Amino acid sequence: MQASYDMHKDVAVITGGAMGIGLACARRLASHGAKIALWDVDKDALDAAAASFDSAPLCLQVDITNPDEINAAAARTAENFGSITQLLNSAGIAGAAIPTIEYSTREWEQVIDLNLNGTFFVNRAILPFMQANKYGRIVNVASIAGKEGNPNAGAYSASKAGVIGLTKTLGKEMAGQDIAVNCITPAAAKTRIFDQITQEHIDYMLAKIPRGRFLLVEEIASMVTWLLSRENSFTTAGVFDISGGRATY
């Protein structure tokens, strides 16, 4: 049985919202009454995602490595709904599954630019709307790899460790304004990101999870919804583990 939250006054931006973690969380938030803005770089996926909602979300094609696109999307979202009160930053890529010293500069920068810089750009663009409201809730999607460092995933691990550090900093900076900024560190879930990595790496990740299975996106949605709700009235700058027992701290 799902917990019940009153989110009818809330406006949630979901990056990477057209599929996977982002879409599952968007649907859960919508079921509690939140108005939804899906941001994604994939227009076809956005169109398909929109059709799965009872009440059509605002769908914006946004490249989160481009600050100008982000700023325009934030302004359009606020204009459409009147405010922005929640953010789930879930857009990301895995990068190449190779030893770290074999990364080309371009490959390294692509992962860091999307996963870490993109998270910074989106938080920077949306936080002023929350400050104006004197209320907000943010969840940035990091990874267990950001805590433990996965072999042959150096760029991904480093980028997600950066997301953890950024989240802790923002959470402390915003703590006095009723704006909570937290992150989650999930183990692997079967999403389209699996298409970017080798079967060997997938098997490695599964072998590390004591529960013996991959995480379900619906399980992430359950945790994220509480973190983005008014029920989360005290916790900020936190790192919430959802790794099936894998995390050692």
For residue 156, indicate whether it is catalytic. Answer: yes
Which alpha helices (H) appear in the chain, and where do they start and end? 20-31, 43-50, 67-81, 105-112, 118-133, 144-148, 154-174, 199-207, 217-227
Give the closest residue to 204 by CA, choosing from 185, 184, 187.
Answer: 187
99 vs 22: CA distance, rounded Å: 29
Residues 24 and 221 sit within 8 Å (Cβ to Cβ): yes
* Residue 52 falls in which region: left (phi positive, over 0), alpha (psi -120 to 50) or beta: alpha
With H, G, I as helix, E, B as strand and everything else as coil, classify residue 59: strand
Catalytic residue among 5, 156, 204, 249: 156
Phi, psi of 39 (to 5 degrees): -110, 130
- Which residue numbers are catalytic? 156
